Structure 1
Amino acid sequence: MRSWGPMCSWVPMCSWERRPRRDEGHSKALTLAILLICALLTSTSSAAEPLNVTVEGLVLQPGTYSLPEGARLSDASVAAQVRADAWFLGAALLRRAAIQPQQKLKAGLLFDLQSSRVHWQAEEQAAGVELAGRLLTAVEAMPVTGRVRAQLDPLQQLALSRNGLLQDGDRIAYPPRAERVRVTGAVKADCLLAFDPSLQPVDYLDQCPRHALADPSYVHVVQPDGRTQRRGVALWNREPGNVAVGAVLYVPVDPKHLAADAQGLNDDFVALLATQVAEAGAAGKGLVSESAIAAGAPLLPGVKQGLGASVGTYRGRNPAATGSAATEVAFTDSIGVAADSTVGGATRGDMTPQGEQSVGEYAGG
């Protein structure tokens, strides 16, 4: 009988017994590597830097808060103690990540307006040239705020779906309640109208004469929280629409009058309006300058950057300030708006009549 024993030294199958030992070693090494990666990820997560979030406006404790990673809107609301008289619908969340896209939006809108002006000049359309110039001035004055839509009512934030995550550098502003509705766009002149809850969009338009190049069939409603709606206002397409206090009605330019390369003008204009800080108080637009946003100054309508910074400094030192006439006088004098005083280069020239009112409201309303 032939013996096969000696052949096992070269038959591959005979060496199979040794393979589990090598595989077992590889498996252990792989397990150790995975554990090491998990440990590194855990240590990195635990060492994550806190989020710096600023809350200002009608809150009891305005300021910048250091919150842990994963903090939500409600954490900022609780920390700052939002006042009951704050205007939640007009509150704004300003986010750094939204700045660049909005800069592109504004640049594109300015280009469309300039193209339209050239188009109307070529067509010898004087009314169009005038409208384009006025809208260009309005858009150039609009700041790039970084505003993003968010639920800023502390009670609504109790629902997780409405309680978004915060990001480092976020700023939240709670303005006083507005009192008016603004009509802008293709109108003969912007109108600031008294709010009436019984009025429909067309009712406001009846109080603000439209431009000859206006679209007669539609209006865009920009609500204070940034939501936008297009509503029919002609006899053939008229439809109801809610207009909240502080809303902006944008009357579009009739597309048939626009240049071929500017057909997106109306949509871009509405989108930029939706990023603006909602109108606050009886007298103004409630817009903050780009430099003030960059400097972290309070959102005070009609107040320039240097003065806004002084306002913030004073408010931080005097959290108990009230809105009484006597306190407002002391408040404005202390931050350098009296004719014979200055603070940090801020003078009365840095404040419009609208700004004087907004400072008083910021002092405690």
Structure 2
Amino acid sequence: MTLIGVAWPIHAMAVSVSVSGEVGRPGVQSLQGNARLADAATAAQIKPEAYVLGASWTQQSKQFEQKRLQVGLLYELGAVADQARREGNAPLAALSTKLRQWLQAMPVTGRRVANTLDPGALAANDADNLPLDDADTLSYPRRPSTVRVVGAVQKSCELPHVALQGARKYVKACATQMADRDFLYVIQPDGQVFELGIALWNESPPMVLAPGAIVYVPLDQRLVAGAADKVFNREMADFIATQPLDGGVLP
């Protein structure tokens, strides 16, 4: 008996993507086939006033990794506070406890950094036009007018954005405490994180901060040694970067 193979058409399953913010069609978009970022952005009809640089893309597949990062950071901040109490360093104990409470209140978003979420740019460059998964979200906020300074500071600051002003000037306007003297971290509104050297021996070239950027002032590595590892401050900046531009509160 001869068996004749029959080729059945294979249809890619539809994906549902939720789009919010400054869009003409907010809500869940049901996209057919091998949907990509440009498909969701185009279907949502991004408004001219949307701040595309601060748009965020989240995926459930990223949440486990980010939750593990958050748990590790919470443990280290708790260890820093305990060590500071044993050493009689009450200001460091209070600061690390405050940062721990702030970090604990942050949601695990699953934010994924993309080169661009601009519909036109996505349509023009296949390399940036990445595939979507079911239950992904896209958010397009309004353009902010401030820069935030958080971390090893007496009180977190929200300062007016000044064109071409570097990170160090923002930090000077926000009193620091227990701060590292060699580095700062800049979190741009698209979620990219940059380490800046600020000492004479490692000074980085000037960096332009976009509206909505966050400057994370790291804890002095010498004060937290033994309780937190050497990548603690970088990982703090990385987790802060997972928060959407229009979400979260200052510690």
1:115–1:259 contact (8 Å) kept in structure 2: no
What amino acid does structure 1 have at the position aligned with 2:157? C
What amino acid does structure 1 have at the position aligned with 2:135? G
Q: Tell me how large the CA RMSD over aligned residues is.
A: 1.8
The Cα of 1:233 is off from its aligned counterpart by: 1.7
Give me the whole-angstrom Cα distance separating, in 2, the residues matched to 1:253 and 1:233.
14
1:72 aligns with 2:26: no
Give me the whole-angstrom Cα distance separating, in 2, the residues matched to 1:169 and 1:69.
15
Segments of structure 2 that go 5 or more residues without pairing to the other structure are none
Give me the whole-angstrom Cα distance separating, in 2, the residues matched to 1:179 and 1:198.
14
153-162 or 236-245: bigger deviation: 236-245
What amino acid does structure 2 have at the position aligned with 1:202? R
1:114-129 equivalences under 5 Å are 114-129=78-93
Equivalent of residue 45 in structure 2, options 81, 86, 93: 81
Give me the whole-angstrom Cα distance separating, in 1, the residues matched to 2:140 and 2:210.
17
What amino acid does structure 1 have at the position aligned with 2:35? A
**TM-score, with structure 2 as normaliser:** 0.92
Q: Which residue of 1 aligns with 2:57?
A: 93
Equivalent of residue 110 in structure 1, options 71, 74, 81: 74
Q: Which has the larger radius of gyration?
A: 1
What amino acid does structure 1 have at the position aligned with 2:141? P
Q: Which residue of 1 aligns with 2:108?
A: 144
The Cα of 1:121 is off from its aligned counterpart by: 1.1
**TM-score, with structure 1 as normaliser:** 0.64
Equivalent of residue 251 in structure 1, options 195, 211, 217: 217
If each structure's helix is expressed as a fraction of its own residues, which one has the higher value?
Answer: 1
1:181 aligns with 2:154: no
Once superposed, which parts of structure 1, at least 4 consecutive aligned residues long, lie more than 6 Å away? none
1:271 aligns with 2:235: no
Q: Which has the higher contact order (CA 8 A, sep 6+)?
A: 2
Give me the whole-angstrom Cα distance separating, in 2, the residues matched to 1:230 and 1:267.
8
2:164–2:208 contact (8 Å) kept in structure 1: no
1:201–1:233 contact (8 Å) kept in structure 2: no
Identity of aligned residues (%): 36
If each structure's strand is expressed as a fraction of its own residues, which one has the higher value?
Answer: 2
Secondary structure at the residue paired with 1:99? helix
- Count of matched residue pairs: 245
The Cα of 1:198 is off from its aligned counterpart by: 2.3
Give me the whole-angstrom Cα distance separating, in 2, the residues matched to 1:138 and 1:76.
33
The Cα of 1:88 is off from its aligned counterpart by: 0.4
Task: Render the CA deviation track for 1:169-193: whole Å, top value 9, x for unaligned.
Answer: 0111111111100001111110111
Give me the whole-angstrom Cα distance separating, in 2, the residues matched to 1:147 and 1:137.
21
Equivalent of residue 156 in structure 2, options 187, 190, 193: 190
Secondary structure at the residue paired with 1:162? coil
The Cα of 1:243 is off from its aligned counterpart by: 1.1
1:162 aligns with 2:162: no
